[in-house]
Amino acid sequence: MVLKKVVIIGFFLIFGTIFLISLKNKKNENKLVQEVKVEEIAIPEVSEVNNEEEKVDFIDRLFIFDSSKLPIVETIVYTSRVPWLKGRRAWIADYASHYKTTRHFIARSLNRKMDYDTQKIAFGDRFNVLKEGVSFYLLIDISKLKLFFYGIDEKENKRYLLKTYKVGLGRKDVTKESGTLTPLGKFSLGSKVAKYKTGIMGYFQDRQIEMVKIFGTRWIPFDKEVEKCSDMARGYGIHGAPWKIDAKDGILKEDRETVGKYDSDGCIRLYQEDIEEIFAIVISRPTIVELIDDYKKACLPKEEVAIK
């Protein structure tokens, strides 16, 4: 009788152990499958990448001389004697005036870097100028705080996306059509532009102030309302980020934190290097700025050509 009980107990112990081992293995398998699934979910498909947020930058190809330069520019070889200027030597300013291209643009091309002020030139030097019939179009998506910079070839009926920039815009205001102090609509840019550096004083809102503290190093005003404008052009413009005294060292510096935010009185703010770049390119040619709540709604001029 005792032997029979021992056999029965042993039987249950053996099969119980086998059952527990089997159950544990099953759990481990399920855990492994779950871990594999988590790994698979964590890897995004290529099709899920948000291409709308990708940065575009072909600006350097406005200033190079090989076959990859953009089709809206042409390369000039400097000579002091030109057929369109009689009786005296031709300088950079003369070339700039003749080709409706800023001296800053020519300087960057000559210097092979973002140096817009050094304007030394010698016989045989090469530089680029804008072709005839070229204009520019700045599309600003208010919801994304993003500027799309287009070059327009009027003769060829084409447009090229040159670069995208992060911008700062007007403070939020639910009473405004745009939801911010920055207006909606299309505006032309004006010719009363300005360059500022530390020490230059001026008047803003009836008080004298160092201008870089408001406008950074460049100012391009809106000129006229063109289409579907929620406010008048007067008082608005595109400029650099304001400068302020750094709390750590007491030095006047660009306040870069104001770009990428709704923080201005309605104007468009850019980083110093970005506003100086745009300024050097657009101020000698007709330029439209369009402000819209979603760039996909924009009716852009001409046919877009992808830059390769």
The DSSP result for 250-265, as a single string, is --EEE-GGGTTSEEES
Whether residue 282 sits in one domain with residue 146? yes
- 61 in a domain, yes or no? no
Asked whether the predicted pLDDT for residue 255 surpasses 80, the reply is: yes
Whether residue 272 sits in one domain with residue 124? no
Question: Residues 214-238: what's their mean pLDDT?
Answer: 98
Domains: count for the chain: 2
Whether residue 237 sits in one domain with residue 281? yes
Whether residue 197 sits in one domain with residue 153? yes
Please enumerate in sequence order all residues whose Cβ is within 8 A of that of 129, keeping only pairs 6 or more positions apart, or say none: 73, 74, 76, 95, 99, 101, 105, 106
pLDDT confidence of 37, banded at 50, 70, 90? very low
- 29 in a domain, yes or no? no
Asked whether the predicted pLDDT for residue 28 surpasses 90, the reply is: no
Give the tens place of pLDDT for each residue, 123-146.
999 999 999 999 999 999 999 999
Whether residue 277 sits in one domain with residue 173? yes
Whether residue 283 sits in one domain with residue 219? yes
In Å, what is the CA distance from 251 to each residue of 93, 198, 236, 307?
A: 34, 11, 28, 41
Q: Mark out the alpha helices in the chain (DSSP H runs).
A: 2-42, 92-98, 103-111, 212-215, 272-282
Whether residue 242 sits in one domain with residue 184? yes
- 205 in a domain, yes or no? yes
Predicted pLDDT at 134? 98
pLDDT confidence of 161, banded at 50, 70, 90? very high
Predicted pLDDT at 8? 47
Predicted pLDDT at 22? 53
Among candidates 144, 135, 117, which has minimal Cα distance to 217?
A: 117
Point out the domain boundary residue: 130, 152, 173. 130
Among candidates 285, 306, 278, 13, which has minimal Cα distance to 139?
A: 278
Point out the domain boundary residue: 81, 99, 130. 130
Percent of the chain with pLDDT over 90: 80
Distance between start and end Cα atoms, the chain: 92
Q: Which residue carries 């090989």 as its tokens?
A: 66
- 9 in a domain, yes or no? no
**What 8-state DSSP symbol labels residue 295?**
G
- 121 in a domain, yes or no? yes
Quote the pTM value: 0.82
Question: Residues 218-230: what's their mean pLDDT?
Answer: 98
Whether residue 261 sits in one domain with residue 173? yes
- Other Cβ atoms less than 10 A from the Cβ of 49: the count is 10
Percent of the chain with pLDDT over 70: 83
Q: Which domain holds residue 105?
A: 73-130
Give the tens place of pLDDT for each residue, 45-95.
333 334 356 899 999 999 999 999 999 999 999 999 999 998 899 999 999
Q: Are 171 and 264 in contact, with CB atoms under 8 Å apart?
A: yes
- Which residue has better confidence, 6 or 113? 113
Please enumerate in sequence order all residues whose Cβ is within 8 A of that of 79, keeping only pairs 6 or more positions apart, or say none: 90, 123, 124
Whether residue 121 sits in one domain with residue 147? no
Whether residue 137 sits in one domain with residue 111? no
- 24 in a domain, yes or no? no
- 4 in a domain, yes or no? no
Q: What is the average pLDDT score of the chain? A: 87
In Å, what is the CA distance from 128 to each residue of 21, 55, 98, 108, 303?
A: 78, 25, 13, 9, 24
CA distance 126 to 162: 22
Asked whether the predicted pLDDT for residue 105 surpasses 90, the reply is: yes
Predicted pLDDT at 241? 98
Whether residue 126 sits in one domain with residue 138? no
In Å, what is the CA distance from 308 to each residue of 69, 91, 127, 184?
A: 11, 34, 22, 32
- 175 in a domain, yes or no? yes
Whether residue 295 sits in one domain with residue 147? yes
Predicted pLDDT at 53? 65
CATH number at residue 271: 2.40.440.10
Point out the domain boundary residue: 130, 149, 166. 130
Q: Which residue carries 């056999």 as its tokens?
A: 7
